[in-house]
Structure formats: C-alpha cells, structure tokens
Amino acid sequence: MYYIADVDKEICASSNCHLCTTYCPEANCINYSEADKSAYVSVDRCKSCEICVYICRDIAKKNAISMKWINDLNEKFVFKHSGLVIR
C-alpha cells in the first residue's frame, strides 16, 4: 500500500481553479466535480507522484492537497463517473 493524494474540499471549493486536473500525468485520476465544487482523486489511479500537491501549493496558492496513507483516507474508493461509492 502507499500514499494517495487527498483533496480538502472546503479549501478547494474556495478556488474553482481546476489547475491540478490539467497537470496530473495519469488519465482520469484527479478530476473536478461540479456537484462538489472541488477536485477529487480516483484512488485506484493515483500513482503518488505528488505533482498535484506542488501545483496546488505553489501555483494555485491553495495548499488543498496532501498525501495521505491509503488507509487514512476519508473517502476510500470513489468512482464518481459510475456513481458507485464504496467506503
């Protein structure tokens, strides 16, 4: 197991910048939910590269993303496109 990028939705929602979604090297890994007004990470696709952390902290100036041990994530496996959420 490993670390996964985790988005603080409250901080992210104050920005609406979408920046991290354009820099993640993995397809369909970090996306933006218009319903939540926040970016979110598909846990099964994150490769722990931390690029999104630096983009959010250093470019967006929001610091809304941190790396969390996979067992400590609030939302464990989120598949928003299929509508299936397993906690």
Q: Which residues bind ligand SF4 (CB under 6 A)?
A: 5, 7, 12, 15, 17-20, 24, 26, 29-30, 39, 41, 46-52, 55-56, 60, 62, 64-65
CB of 82 to ligand SF4, least distance (A): 19
CB of 23 to ligand SF4, least distance (A): 7
**Pairwise CA distance, residues 6 & 4, whole Å:** 6
CB of 80 to ligand SF4, least distance (A): 14
**Pairwise CA distance, residues 42 & 29, whole Å:** 5
**Pairwise CA distance, residues 42 & 84, whole Å:** 12
Phi, psi of 70 (to 5 degrees): -55, -35
Which tokens is 70 given? 């996979």
Cβ distance to ligand SF4 smaller for residue 15 or 80: 15
